[in-house]
Chains A and B, each alone.
Chain A
């Protein structure tokens, strides 16, 4: 059993009939993910890509026993889509949508405190456990099943790390994008804790970036002792203060959230810091060689 998703995951796609939803559902199915249902209001009762479509998530849960959701609905509807999935008893909600208002996410996090659902994202490439299931938009073929966990705030940097690992012969247990927005569901700390307990994960790659304190909190956790080697890269050493670097969450304010501070704390906490994003794969190889 890998973290978050598994070959037995039964997935519902919210927004399955939209452009993005259609394109990526097709690819998730090709990858071998069990997409058991789709949800689009007022399109219930139809089939889309061979998948039964329902008006609501609750009906998808009742009829198809889905336990995980991937959300592709536009930003204006995404907050209510997350709430609906949590209300319907979905265990894992992956919200791909970019552009959700930050204060809406604050409200959703308040709401989710009283629900058992786990949220990944928003503004994330999703979650993949290679060879088992892909819940998201990442290119499937660069992945390979294995024992390295990857967690990141950035999509393309995750692909970059995964690609390097696969080329060097290291597969991945699970790769998780926690999302590029200021307020997201599961944090670095949450995912690191899951990887630590996961018997299929032997080493972890953490990819951070400027803005916020997610890396600082990860460093605090790792500094208390962590059972597996962690390789970390933090993007944005050259980013100017006060300017947003693409991701809504990638902005430094005052002295908070600088890459150099994050790197310093992660290094003190015992992670292997790589300065070049091209060196992530090699650093994992070295960490695993040093371990055995």
Chain B
């Protein structure tokens, strides 16, 4: 789960991480008030959960409270389009107003999970403010990666190596070494899956301040930690994704026109790939999951066919624990209750497939049933094109 920059900064402060003096504002007046309290030039930063805000004009400098108010009114209530938001952008609902730092140098620190070592990967680079992937590609020697075993924590030698790699000396060297230990503690305590400070600013008075912070929380930790769950911002998800999540469905909206209903995450991804192989574009990822109910399947189907971007729907079920007849019952129910304005192609295999086929045959609904998933994908793509007339 991603969280906002201001939330991430609030979470890190108790661990001893220095962050700029700042306040969240959801109106221009609040932004003005925040700038007044800070009492020096500020940055007004759009709070959306996507990177590339700086380049997209989502971070504005303001020399006075009046300028902060003006900056906030330019950002608030409008979508901000960055390289990561897609063309529709994300609506800015709040801004972070914080002191503009006197920057001597910009650095990078990142912590993530090293899956194959079952440890933390700890990355530092003496250049911040650019994407670490770009930096790695450009100057691979600049980025130092070290493995931190949770049982050991940060070893003194590792802290020193990282501080040297950042090019720090004197008191900043010492505070960097402390910062690394604090960050590893924070990563564990917050059940993070990613923690990035980019840039970490060395100020002209020699302090290390986390100017921008990105934290992602392990989704699997949310059921166990109410405080982390409360950080979720439902406004960052599309309404369809919210509805799907409430029904226990794993759903991700994409920009194609072939809707997909599948059981199993791997098969759901493979089904999207098959649609692409057949020359079409999947409208979504959808895994109904192992313990799915008839109601949830009905919900999934209604969600897809009510999306005006969807022009055909592909149902790909390999029944194991999920029974084919249950899936078909759900779909038939939804189609009867809400109608079905798009053609539906089904590939059914496995548990209770014969019963499912009989249900379909008796339903009177014009669903196309095909014997294998390649044919199903081709047919769904063909029908998606046909539904919109010749192109």
Report yes or no: B218 in contact with A101, Cβ–Cβ below 8 A.
Answer: yes
CA distance A102 to B318 in the complex (A): 28
Contacts of B137 in A (CB 8 A): 255
Contact with B along A233-267 (1 / 0, CB 8 A): 10111111011111111100111000100000000
Report yes or no: A235 in contact with B131, Cβ–Cβ below 8 A.
Answer: no
B240: Cβ under 8 A from any A Cβ: no
Q: Which of B113, B265, B276, B319 contacts A106 (CB 8 A)?
A: B113
Report yes or no: B266 in contact with A110, Cβ–Cβ below 8 A.
Answer: no
CA distance A246 to B270 in the complex (A): 12
A99-B220, A101-B218 known; A156+B267 contact, CB < 8 A? yes
Report yes or no: A243 in contact with B266, Cβ–Cβ below 8 A.
Answer: no
A168: Cβ under 8 A from any B Cβ: no
A102-B220, A154-B265 known; A238+B115 contact, CB < 8 A? no
A137-B321, A242-B84 known; A235+B220 contact, CB < 8 A? no
A237-B273, A238-B272, A240-B252 known; A212+B318 contact, CB < 8 A? no
Name the residue on B nearest A216 (C-beta): B116
Instruction: Identify the stretch in B59-67, B167-175, B188-196, B355-363 within 8 Å (CB) of chain A at 4 or more residues.
Output: B188-196
B125: Cβ under 8 A from any A Cβ: no
Name the residue on B nearest A235 (C-beta): B269
Name the residue on A nearest B118 (C-beta): A109
A75-B223, A101-B218, A159-B350 known; A247+B265 contact, CB < 8 A? yes
Minimal beta-carbon separation of B195 from chain A (angstroms):
12
B275: Cβ under 8 A from any A Cβ: yes
Report yes or no: A277 in contact with B270, Cβ–Cβ below 8 A.
Answer: yes
Q: Which of A155, A209, A243 contacts B252 (CB 8 A)?
A: A243
Residues in A169-218 with C-beta less than 8 Å from chain B: 180-183, 187, 207, 209-210, 212-214, 217
Report yes or no: B191 in contact with A253, Cβ–Cβ below 8 A.
Answer: no
A75-B223, A105-B118, A247-B266 known; A277+B252 contact, CB < 8 A? no
Contacts of A106 in B (CB 8 A): 113, 118-120, 150
Residue ranges of B at the interface with A (Cβ–Cβ < 8 Å): 84, 112-113, 115-116, 118-120, 131-133, 137, 149-151, 188, 191, 193-194, 218-221, 223-224, 250, 252, 254, 262-270, 272-277, 281-282, 285, 287, 290, 318-321, 349-351, 372-374
Give me 7 other A-B pairs in contact (C-beta within 8 A), A156-B263, A207-B266 excluded: A75-B223, A152-B266, A154-B264, A157-B264, A160-B318, A212-B116, A250-B265
List 5 A-B residue pairs with CB atoms under 8 Å apart, sorted by A's residue number. A102-B191, A245-B269, A246-B264, A246-B287, A277-B267
Task: Across the A-B interface, give the 9 residue pairs with the lowest CB-CB distance, nearest first.
Answer: A154-B266, A156-B264, A246-B265, A109-B118, A157-B266, A254-B133, A156-B267, A235-B269, A277-B270
